[in-house]
Every structure is written in structure tokens, then in C-alpha cells.
Structure 1
Amino acid sequence: MSDLIKSDKEFNIRKSVINNVISNNLNINWDSQKTIKAKAFPQITFDDAETHGLKELVNQLIKTNDRDSFLQSSESSKYNHQFFNNLDKLYSCNFIEATISANKKIKSQVDSDTTSFAKQFVKSLRLNNELNEGMTLFVIVNDIIDALEKQLNLANINRAKIFASYNGSFDVYLKYFSHYLATKSSENKLPGGNDFLDLLHLIYLGNGKECKIVTNDSLLKNLDVAISVEDFSDLYKI
């Protein structure tokens, strides 16, 4: 969203692309990342107001002719461009802060271990896909249930039962996000400012069957689920 309103030129380019997608009746997944995560657990019912807000924002974009008109028309809406810009920043900041906290705890454990076990475990962490993906899924389940308990004033939701009900519908994201986290932890490094949002794009690949992401992003381009813009253009003669 920040790129959309960066300048008149950027606005016109992105508005043109969105208009082409809408006018050609291409299939659009409007679900937010929170909705996609919630849908992966059949027992959870989740109505995401942000999704409805995003649709309305796109409708306003299509109706307006220039950047200033778009900003003015959407300003009074709760789910305006600033809302989504702030949301992206919040996701990134929270992710970096959580990584800093986790790295400190891991380092403390390693430093206090008189044997080499903890150090070797951390170094080999990124090689244990099942453990990494399980930990990521555990955090996602806790985040979802924490939000539901707060929103609906519920308590004592069976988290283990929800965890076990995962249907595999965001396996691609789970795989690569988990490996990324484990690598950063094993190397005691911090994520880049936009890494969380870049990785979050992978959640729209679902379980990865016959689906790839078209990107030249340095973090994603070498993944086996990615295809470069140039290769995509050559493949489809664009």
C-alpha cells in the first residue's frame, strides 16, 4: 500500500495493473493472512473485517482518477491506506522484536550450558524440519486462539485439538517460514526489515500444488516455488 501512494507515477502504474486484473475477471484471493491461517483449522470460524475493508479500498481506488482523489475518498474509512500501512509496520516490528527476544534466550541457554549439547542443538536446528514446522504451527495456533478468546470472551479452548486439526492448507508458508526462523536462530542473526512481509506472500501458495510465486525478490527468488519475472514473461510470451 505504501508503494501505491508513493508518487503519482507509482499510483498510476499500480492502479492500471489492478484495473486489468479486475476487468479480466481473474480469480482474486481476498483473504487476509489471518483468515487463511484460521481457515486451516476446520473448527475455527473467523470473520475478518480487514478483508471487507480491503475490498472497499480497492473499489475506491478503481473509482478515483488520481492519487490525491484516492487519498481523500478513503481518508474517513477505518480501513484506509494508512491502516494497512500501519498494519504492515506492526507485523514487521513485532516479528523483529520477537526474534531478538528468542535469540537472547537461546544465547543464554547456550552460554550457561557446560556441555556442548545446547550449542550443537542450536546449530542443527534448521535441519529438523518437523520440529521447526511444529513450533511455528504451535505459535500460529496460540496467536489465533488468544485473539478469539479476547474477541469473543471465551476461555479454555482446547489448543491441542485445534493444533491436531491443521489441514495442510498453508504448507508452503509453514515450510519456508519455519526454515527461515530456524536459520536465523542458529546463526543468532536478525531478520531484514521487510523479511516477514516478503515471506508472508508464500501463504497464498497454499499447499504448493501447481502454484508458484512470480518474483525477483532476493529472499524468495531462489526458492523452488518461485519463478522470476523474466522467466514468467518468456514462458507465457508476455
Structure 2
Amino acid sequence: MRIDLNSDLGESFGRWQLGDDEAMLEVVSSANVACGFHAGDATTLRRTCSGASERGVVVGAQVGYRDLAGFGRRFIDVPPNELIDDIVYQLGALDGICRVSGTRIRYVKPHGALYNAVVHHEAQAEAVVAAVAAYDPSLPVLGLPGSALLKAAESAGLRTVREFFADRGYTPAGTLVPRTSPGALLHDPDEVAQRVLRMVGDGVVPAVDGTDVRVEAESICVHGDSPGAVELASAVRSRLRDAGVEIVSFVEA
């Protein structure tokens, strides 16, 4: 059995340091690299892409709202045509940095509030898909199972990749618990690793109300900005490998 392990990286900005990209790149198989709109300055992004290239980690473009102050975690009602342009801009910027770093963008994943919005917001979901299709229709789109984003991407002929969040709580409906609600974030490495094993083996994960939710995914996300992120990701990787699961990016599987 194979599965991808991804993390959000390249999110530092100037003197504001977030996460440990160097350490996380030793653990994951795919890196969701910021594109400068929600986080990431040019130097940070080039360093992150170069580090990924050196380690054979696949780079994906993590596109978001133009919201540095809010870290892209505030919904913005962007007109679809403007959102298309913003995403094309981000894809081109990160792709250029990748090219001079010895790699290229291999997939696309929305960030933060945009990720949550395109679970149900059909207009913004279609805008994200339109941007990817216009830039490079060979790029897979990573998103939440059952989301409007993945439905729109599939309809457009793009490859879709379902994602599971190791360190986030799930509602009984299979969506992520809002970060402002109890149970949204998980920090215990053993608990998280066990949840991941159950998702991989049984296709289910416990929701915040104690019921089981069916989740099938090809990629597992561990947030790079969470406290103890490297320890948590390392525990997940170790537990998966002990169970005979190979960690490999979905673009290479």
C-alpha cells in the first residue's frame, strides 16, 4: 500500500518565521508551498523549493486569497474572474521559482479559507478549476472528498486527489471542524498516528461527536505551522512505515 504525506510549507515572511521547513522536508513526500498571497516571501519560497528539489519532495502550489494580514484564513468574496487571475498569477510566480530551483509545480491545493470555501462555494470552486485548466490542465487538484472543488475539477477533466487531515477534527458530515470550535486541532502524536492508521486501513475516522465518518484519501496532510508539527508528522510517517505502508507522492504513485 502507498500513500502521500503532505504539509504546508514556505509560509514564513521576512523576519516572521513559521514552522521548520527544513525538518519537515525530511518527513513528507509532497510540499504544499505558499505562493506569496497568504504567506511566503521570494527568498523563503526559493529556499523551500530548493530544499524540496534536493530531497526529491514533490512541490505543489498552495494558492489562496490575497490576505497576508489574515494568513489567508478569512473568507473573501472575490469575484470569480478576479479569483481566476489571482490564482494564475500565483501559479506563475511559484512555477518560476521552482524552475530556478531545479523542480516545477506538480499539483495545486487551495489554502485556508479558500480551501474551506470551495467545499461548498461553487462559483469559487469553478474559478479555481478554471485557473488550473488555463495554466496547465495536467496539474492534479488536491482537495476535500466530496467537495465542490473536486466535482468541478473532475467535470473539467482534471485529475482529482482526495485529502485527509491528520491533525484536524472532523464533523459528522465529513467536513473539517472550524478552527474556532473545540476539537478543531489535534496535537498528540500517538492519537494522530492512530487516526491515520485507521483511515488508511478501514477508511473511517472518528468525528468530534464520537461517531465514525467514512474518509477515503490518497494524501494525508500534517500542518507545518502547528505546535510540534515535525514530531507529529514523524510519528505518522513512522507508524505508517511500521504498518508496511510506503510513503510516496501521489504524482509518482
Q: TM-score, normalised by structure 1?
A: 0.24
Q: TM-score, normalised by structure 2?
A: 0.23
Greater fraction of residues in strand: 2
Structure exhibiting the larger radius of gyration computed from Cα positions: 1
